[in-house]
Amino acid sequence: MKNQILELLEKKDYFTIKKILVDLNEADIAEILEEIDENKLLLTFRLLQKDKAVDVFSHVSISLQEKIITSASDKEIKYFVEELFFDDMIDLLEEMPANIVKRILANVKENERALVNHFLNYPDNTAGSLMTIEFVDLKRNFTVKEALNDIRKTGVEKETIYTCYIIDLNRKLEGTVSLRELVISNEDTKIADIMNEEVIFVNTHDDQEEIASKFKKYDLIAMPVVDTEKRLVGIITVDDIIDVIEEENTEDFYKMAAMTPTEDEYLQSSTFQLAKHRIAWLLVLMISATFTGYIIKSFENTLSSVIALTMFIPLLMDTGGNAGSQSATLVIRGLALGTVKTKDYYKVILKEFQVSLFVGLVLSTINFLRIIAFDHVGIKISLIVSITLFITIVLAKVVGAILPIIASKVKLDPAIMASPLITTIVDALALLIYFTLATTILGI
């Protein structure tokens, strides 16, 4: 499809392009635009029907949005600002450079500008920053017929009308009614009689991770957001929550790989930006690794008398680290999904202990046989290595399980207790055990 459009652009056959674009989904058009050159992309964008252009715009990447806005006339910006969903406009304003924000704000209607500024002030990652103002509100004394008429009049512009919100005269949230209920109910039924008063809602300052959990728990497609006086100020829709879920997962992946999390797009980030998020943890872990080095140093005598001990250092360090990060990952993920709770700590530790005994026994037996068969270092060293391996695996798994739970208990993100940190701790423990055993058994 992309190639077809490029060919048609070459031939300047704009008429055919226009016809193709009419039938394409906006998300697909956005994908095509991402892949073509700047001048061609702007040309193609201008071939879209006006309202489709707005839909496509809200699907393209930030860098592309910037290009489009930069090349747009004030009239075009005004149209965009009016037609974009409110939350998409706020997202746009949050991401654009100052000069573009200024141009956009100049085109926001006077009466909306205060609202825009208010929304821009909600802290990142809170309900306030996720919500939109396009929703249907009804009064409890409406009949179903009145409600449906109201929806017909105003609903076209609303991001979701599948749940309607019942508010009192002070805009306090009283209940919800689904469009489904309205459609299947008798015309003369009062809203008060069919509305659901057990509303699941969040506050403007609630954290997005918490909100995502609520969506998952209650299987929602939209959720109302209220202010401190329980006045309805917006709604959050499930498509934005899916983005939040992926964002939170990405954050955990980054933390677990010793990076400070960022929402910047990888390919759009500069070398310096990327390096910045990686150096801090690498430094901390590098310094920690020097302590493991000091353990080795303090056993230099042992090592120089039996240099063969050195060759098993990687095996002990790596296996310990891997065993520990398995446990840590299971617990971190369990805590994130709510399938493991901090109060389950004794169950988790017991389980990891049992697993570690089993895994440790299997691995150290195999390792013992392998050393005997191939390494010709004598039975004593084979034993020292295998016993150390066994103890290391047990320690690694227990430490790997405990640290994330402790982190969660003291309100830290368990994800920072992931493999790199545990590897460092386990490395030191493993070598300490190794050399102590060696000095004792070999009598050095």
Check binding of 423 to a copy of itself (CB under 8 A).
yes
- The only residue of 143, 189, 322, 342 in contact with a copy of itself, by rule CB under 8 A: 322
- The only residue of 19, 102, 118, 297 in contact with a copy of itself, by rule CB under 8 A: 297
Q: Minimum CB separation from a copy of itself for residue 31, in Å?
A: 8
Do the Cβ atoms of 430 and 295 come closer than 8 Å? no
- The only residue of 333, 372, 378, 383 in contact with a copy of itself, by rule CB under 8 A: 333
Give the pair of three-digit tokens for residue 108. 């926001």
Q: How many CB atoms lie within 10 A of CB 194?
A: 17
How many residues bind a copy of itself, per CB under 8 A?
111
Q: Minimum CB separation from a copy of itself for residue 94, in Å?
A: 19
Contacts 24+ apart (CB under 8 A), 17-20: 17/44, 17/47, 18/47
Check binding of 366 to a copy of itself (CB under 8 A).
yes
Q: Please give the single-letter amino acid code of residue 365.
A: T
Check binding of 155 to a copy of itself (CB under 8 A).
yes
Check binding of 41 to a copy of itself (CB under 8 A).
no
- The only residue of 49, 265, 409, 412 in contact with a copy of itself, by rule CB under 8 A: 265
What does the alpha-carbon distance between residue 88 and residue 82 come to, in Å, rounded to a whole number? 11
Do the Cβ atoms of 364 and 387 come closer than 8 Å? yes
Q: Where are the alpha helices (DSSP H) in 261-312?
A: 271-298, 300-305
Check binding of 275 to a copy of itself (CB under 8 A).
yes
With CB under 8 A as the contact rule, which of the stretches 74-82, 87-95, 99-107, 333-341 interacts with a copy of itself? 333-341
Using CA atoms in the order 432, 435, 441, 444, what is the torsion angle rounded to 10 degrees? Answer: -130
Strands 232-237 and 222-226: antiparallel
- The only residue of 228, 290, 346, 373 in contact with a copy of itself, by rule CB under 8 A: 290
Give whichever of 77 and 84 is closer to a copy of itself, judged by the CB atom: 84
Check binding of 109 to a copy of itself (CB under 8 A).
no
- The only residue of 60, 167, 191, 241 in contact with a copy of itself, by rule CB under 8 A: 241
Do the Cβ atoms of 371 and 323 come closer than 8 Å? no
- The only residue of 340, 399, 416, 425 in contact with a copy of itself, by rule CB under 8 A: 340
Do the Cβ atoms of 292 and 381 come closer than 8 Å? no
- The only residue of 1, 114, 286, 441 in contact with a copy of itself, by rule CB under 8 A: 286
Q: Minimum CB separation from a copy of itself for residue 10, in Å?
A: 22
Q: What per-residue string of b and e applies to 64-88 under the rule 16 or more CB within 10 Å gives b? A: bbbbbbeebeeebbbbbbebbbbbb
Which string of x and - marks every residue 169-208 that binds a copy of itself (by CB under 8 A)? ----------xx-xxx-------------x-x--------
Give whichever of 107 and 436 is closer to a copy of itself, judged by the CB atom: 436
With CB under 8 A as the contact rule, which of the stretches 37-45, 76-84, 202-210, 235-243 interacts with a copy of itself? 235-243
Check binding of 272 to a copy of itself (CB under 8 A).
yes
Give the pair of three-digit tokens for residue 58. 């809200």
DSSP state of 207: B
With CB under 8 A as the contact rule, which of the stretches 64-72, 90-98, 120-128, 351-359 interacts with a copy of itself? 351-359
How far, in Å, are 252, 271, 416 from residue 267 at the CA level?
20, 10, 25
Would you give the end-to-end CA distance of the chain in angstroms? 74
DSSP assignment of 95-149: HS-HHHHHHHHHTS-HHHHHHHHHHHTSPTTBHHHH-BS---EE-TT-BHHHHHH
What does the alpha-carbon distance between residue 147 and residue 136 come to, in Å, rounded to a whole number? 10
Q: Minimum CB separation from a copy of itself for residue 34, in Å?
A: 10
Which string of x and - marks every residue 117-146 that binds a copy of itself (by CB under 8 A)? ------------------------------
Q: Please give the single-letter amino acid code of residue 410.
A: V
Check binding of 39 to a copy of itself (CB under 8 A).
no
Q: Minimum CB separation from a copy of itself for residue 371, in Å?
A: 9
Check binding of 261 to a copy of itself (CB under 8 A).
no
Q: Minimum CB separation from a copy of itself for residue 215, in Å?
A: 7
